[in-house]
Chain A
Amino acid sequence: MAQMKFMCDAERCIECNGCVTACKNANDVEWGIQRRRVVTLNDGESDEMSISVACMHCDDAPCMAVCPTDCFYKTDDGIVLHDKDLCIGCGYCLYACPFGAPQFPQQDAFGERGKMDKCTFCAGGPAETKEEEYEKYGANRIAEGKLPLCAEMCSTKALLAGDAQDVADIFRQRVVHRGHEDGAWSNNPKASADNLAYDAARKG
């Protein structure tokens, strides 16, 4: 079975926010919700770097572990989805998530949270009909054999989505091509310990 993963190549991301827009468009998400965001470090400096972030569909997902209603589940493809019928908007998944992925439409008095919304890897969610699924969770492109729209339309192909193995292979190739030892994450001493970059350095 495939293990779906996102990967953003920070050496390529140009902070165009195309992925953010594509996601909004594909999933028709609620006002105020933005499932994907682009983070820029050292903006305006010579070592500026950007990275696109959304739910990373964690293996050992913290959101899943803390949810009081137990409404999360992992699909066979390793995608973390949740059931909005069970969600009570407690916000625990947001406290626990490493990437700030869960968001809540603030629709009630006193800031009471609505049902949680997050990236579904364009895999929809639990619903009776297709219409209901689209209404609640957005597109189910996976069911149509397509990958998430954000990655599909990324202009620099910085954002990759797909089976972890394929994504890793593409990235490995790039690192090899870049040629230098820390072609994956520049100047990061950890990168040389990281298999991906280390192997690449050997081969390159």
Chain B
Amino acid sequence: MNQLTAQAPGGVPHLTHWQGVWRWLLLAFALVLSLGVAQVVHAQADPDREMSTGAPGIDADQWRQVRSGETGDNYRTSRYESDYNLINSSGETWRQWRNRWVSPFGLIVIGGMIVIITLFYLIVGRKELEGERTGRKLFRWPLFLRALHWSVASLFIVLALTGLNLLFGKFVFRGLFGDAFWGGMISASKFLHNYLGPIFGVLLIVLLVCLIKDNIPKKHDLEWFKKGGGMVGKKHVDAGFANGGEKAWYWILATVGVLVVASGFVLDFPNFGQGRDTMQWANIIHAVGALGLTAVSIGHIYIGTLGTEGSLEGMTTGYVDETWAKEHHNLWYEEVKDQSVSEQELVDRRASKGAGDSPATRSS
């Protein structure tokens, strides 16, 4: 190029001014002509030729890949710190699972439980003690376990209510109280749920560890279930420190409960790089497990309070009446009956050193 421009002054001089102009005109004419020809060719573009010469498009296999959510080696997305695929197709699956199955069936299970228990209470009624109270008490729950139980229990109730609000609240409270109230209510729900959840998880594990030795399944527990916990045949059934039903509740918490806690952690701390797919699964497990636990817990709450005379005092004062122990936990009673104390002794004991004394020995 440099050479050409350098030579030009030497080659051009003998051309006259007019010759130069003609040359330019000729060039322009040729250009216009060639454009016209090109236009004609373009108008006759033939699809087959275009197909064969054009860059190949995305084929069916690649669209299948996009739909399946896979991202190959040569997949790029321009968003900062993101590896999202083009189509998150499991999102719709998750939506259907959650909205079509988990929500309505959760409502049916919990509502059903409330109805069954109400009917049971109205028809069968409270299970009273059959014998007279002896007035002598057996120590059942030390202060530490009672404190732990009530902490876990209150956290459970808060988590259940806030969780239900996250799933169903929008159908009720938004219309009822308006946006301003609903906004505060739902953000409080999420806040409580996310911050109390981990505390519940840790305390639940501690409680499970403390109680495991009382909840090892035994042969008489099977018998307990066959007789419906004594409801069938009106005959007393054998039970140690924990009866078959209590053990079942323990093991539900030790399995489903732990699963709910674990999936809750996955959802609560999105800063460990877990993807949307993982969180979709965690959410389904969390919701199904938690709705199930809530339903069963209603049964536990009923039996522990309204449903059975003499049960609640064990968890509030730590002591139960001899008669209650004999009727509900006969095997345990046989072991510890010589450790009973009168109410007067109890009052004296409390006055002298508080209630944190050691419990009667137990066996499951």
Contacts and interface: CB of A to CB of B under 8 A. Distances in A.
B174 A90 contact: no
A62 interface: yes
A68 B168 CA distance: 8
Contacts of B174: 69-70
Residues of B in contact with A, size category? 35 or more
Interface string B56-80: 1111101100100000101111111
Interface stretch (A47-55, A133-141, A154-162): A47-55
A97 B271 contact: no
Contacts of B57: 11, 47, 49, 182, 185-188
Contacts of A188: 57-60, 63
Counting chain A residues whose Cβ lies within 8 A of the other chain, the interface size class is 35 or more
B193 to A, nearest CB: 9
A39 B77 contact: yes
Interface stretch (B47-55, B223-231, B245-253): B47-55
Contacts of A88: 186-187, 189-190
A23 to B, nearest CB: 11
Nearest to B275: A95
A17 interface: yes
Given A95-B94, A185-B57, A187-B56, A69 B186 contact: yes
A45 B279 CA distance: 33
Interface string B19-55: 0000000000000000000000000010110110011
Nearest to B60: A189
Contacts of A46: 55-56
A37 B75 contact: no
A49 B57 CA distance: 8
Given A40-B75, A86-B182, A47 B271 contact: no
B88 interface: yes
A146 interface: no
Contact of A41 (B50, B86, B169, B194): B86
A42 B74 contact: yes
Given A96-B91, A98-B89, A66 B98 contact: yes
